[in-house]
């Protein structure tokens, strides 16, 4: 929520698990004030870029230590402002620390000059920073998704201005304060973001969020001819081939791949496809797994594995989408199965009972659109061609997964997905790797995070070239001004 205090706007963040509790406040940054902040960042960047790469990487390493030392405090704050369970918050912050150290290890090779000096001439390829990077981050994994932009951008010599989501501004602000580097934070909603992305001194935009926000950011950046990296939404299919096991470990992992962060994850398993002949046994195994691993309640309570959704609006949308016996048409038909158990009082916050919907209409919003809620559909299929067509339907292509007892068969099937990242025999966070580039195809964005490709997003290749024919001591030049290069 955003409320005026003494004439100055603030963002007061409520606890989605206990909505009467205000976790903290941050001052809103008026759109008119963004320009001066960007100009200050631009001036700081010019000094930062002159520091040697080892000095910049030492700053990242010190930030990693500071974040690691504060992990319990930061995780508790993140759980209170976002509704994520405390164990997931610790894991997210720990992963951010790992990524900072990974960048410090791999940036020297990624950002080194590349020199060719041979009979054709001398070429120096420099990896130079853009300048000021605008980083716009979401609320569902705010720390790691901020650090994914901060770490390579700062290592490369850029300055960064971060605009966190107003639904999770507190922990990001604390983390940013631990960097001894040219990184600023602005708070606000669409107007603040537009002022940042559209600023003349912003040279690169990095955005993670939903497709509507991504379209707005891309339009603003495009108007300025500002390059961008966009990681947008997904409607990830999880396809079980006819030999896939339904053992406890496999299905436990699948349940959490859908319901981590209450299903509010871009790369969650959002559509499940199972051979029609095995659908009943799959549903039985899934309900049993949810009974083992899915406990909804206060994110700070021991044993809870799923908290509330982020807001009242998200709760209303999820309840409408979920449907049920009284509202079967809203779920697109099918059978709604309640999952897991609730520990605590569901009336204290924005809680939604998680559900599996078996056999909904494939054209229903539950299947055809990204749910971003703790409801997941399962559908039967009769052939691999049929399920592949269903999995590839739609405009989104972020992630997908294929499950099989035969890894070679799984990889062969995975090659046919229209997805930027395909998991094999797992899905969501358990399948991520720092060395594997992540990003979408189709309308799920462009550019990549993680791995060498993620580092490369924050540098420009600038070339110095001396052709052999014109170097000191070269012989007479043959050909005229229109001659093409030799190689």
Q: Compute the average pLDDT of residues 251-266.
A: 97
How confident is the model over 453-462, as a mean pLDDT?
98
Can you say how many angstroms the Cα of residue 263 is from the centroid of all Cα atoms in its chain? Answer: 14
Q: What is the chain's mean pLDDT, rounded?
A: 94
d(CA 413, CA 424): 10
- pTM value? 0.94
For 54-61, what is the mean pLDDT? 98
> Higher confidence at residue 247 or residue 481?
247
Task: Dump the DSSP string for 94-142.
Answer: HHHHHHHHHHHHHHHHHTS-EEEEETTEEEEEEEEE-SEEEEE--SSSH
- Cα separation of 125 and 363, whole Å? 50
Give me the catalytic one of 28, 89, 266, 418. 266
Is 44 marked active-site?
A: no
Alpha-carbon span 26 to 33, nearest angstrom: 15
Q: How many helices (H) and strands (E) does the chain have?
A: 15, 23
> Active-site residue among 14, 28, 92, 231?
231
Question: For residue range 339-376, what is the model confidence (pLDDT) as tens digits?
Answer: 999 998 999 999 999 999 999 999 999 999 999 999 99
Integer Cα distance of 65 and 74 in angstroms: 13
Pairwise pLDDT comparison (397 vs 330), residue with the higher score? 397
How would you list the strands of the sheet with 132-136, edge to edge? 183-185, 159-163, 132-136, 202-208, 228-231, 445-446
Residue 114 burial (CB count, 10 A): 11
pLDDT digits (tens, 9 = 90+) for 393-442: 999 999 999 999 999 999 999 999 999 999 999 999 999 999 999 999 99
Identify whether 231 is a catalytic site residue: yes
């Amino acid at each position: 929520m955003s409320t005026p205090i003494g004439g100055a706007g603030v963002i007061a963040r409520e606890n989605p698990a206990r909505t009467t509790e205000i976790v903290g406040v941050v001052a809103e940054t008026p759109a008119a004030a963004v320009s001066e902040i960007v100009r200050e960042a631009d001036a700081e960047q010019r000094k930062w870029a002159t520091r040697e790469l080892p000095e910049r990487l030492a700053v990242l390493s010190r930030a990693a230590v500071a974040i690691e030392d504060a992990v319990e405090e930061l995780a508790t704050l993140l759980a209170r402002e976002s509704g994520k369970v405390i164990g997931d918050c610790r894991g997210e912050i720990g992963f951010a620390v790992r990524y900072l150290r990974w960048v410090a290890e791999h940036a020297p090779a990624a950002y080194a000059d590349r020199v060719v000096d041979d009979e054709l001439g001398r070429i120096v390829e420099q990896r130079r920073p853009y300048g000021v990077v605008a980083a716009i981050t979401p609320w569902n994994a705010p720390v790691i998704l901020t650090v994914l932009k901060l770490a390579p951008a700062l290592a490369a010599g850029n300055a960064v201005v971060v605009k966190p989501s107003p639904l999770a501004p507190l922990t990001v602000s604390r983390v940013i304060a631990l960097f001894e580097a040219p990184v600023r934070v602005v708070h606000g909603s669409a107007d603040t973001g537009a002022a940042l992305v559209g600023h003349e001194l912003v040279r690169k935009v990095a955005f993670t969020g939903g497709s509507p926000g991504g379209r707005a950011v891309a339009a603003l950046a495009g108007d300025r001819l500002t390059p961008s990296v966009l990681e947008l939404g997904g409607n990830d299919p999880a396809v079980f081939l006819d030999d896939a096991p339904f053992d406890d470990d496999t299905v436990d992992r699948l349940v959490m791949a859908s319901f981590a962060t209450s299903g509010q994850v871009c790369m969650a398993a959002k559509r499940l496809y199972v051979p029609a002949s095995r659908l009943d046994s799959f549903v039985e195994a899934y309900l049993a797994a949810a009974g083992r691993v899915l406990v909804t309640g206060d994110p700070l309570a021991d044993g809870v594995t799923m908290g509330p959704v982020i807001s009242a609006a998200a709760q209303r949308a999820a309840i409408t989408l979920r449907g049920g016996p009284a509202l079967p048409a809203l779920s697109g038909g099918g059978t709604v199965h309640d999952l897991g158990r609730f520990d605590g009082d569901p009336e204290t916050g924005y809680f939604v009972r998680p559900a599996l919907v078996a056999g909904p209409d494939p054209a229903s919003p539950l299947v055809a659109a990204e749910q971003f809620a703790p409801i997941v559909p399962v559908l039967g299929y009769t052939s691999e061609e049929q399920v592949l067509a269903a999995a590839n339907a739609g405009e989104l292509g972020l992630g997908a997964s294929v499950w099989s007892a035969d890894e070679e068969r799984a990889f062969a099937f995975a090659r046919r997905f229209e997805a930027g990242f395909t998991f094999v025999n797992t899905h969501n966070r358990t399948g991520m790797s720092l060395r594997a580039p992540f990003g979408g195809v189709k309308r799920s964005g462009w550019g990549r995070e993680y791995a060498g490709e993620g580092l490369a997003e924050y540098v420009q290749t600038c070339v110095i070239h001396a052709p052999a024919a014109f170097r000191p001591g070269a012989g007479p030049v043959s050909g005229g001004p229109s001659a093409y290069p030799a190689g």
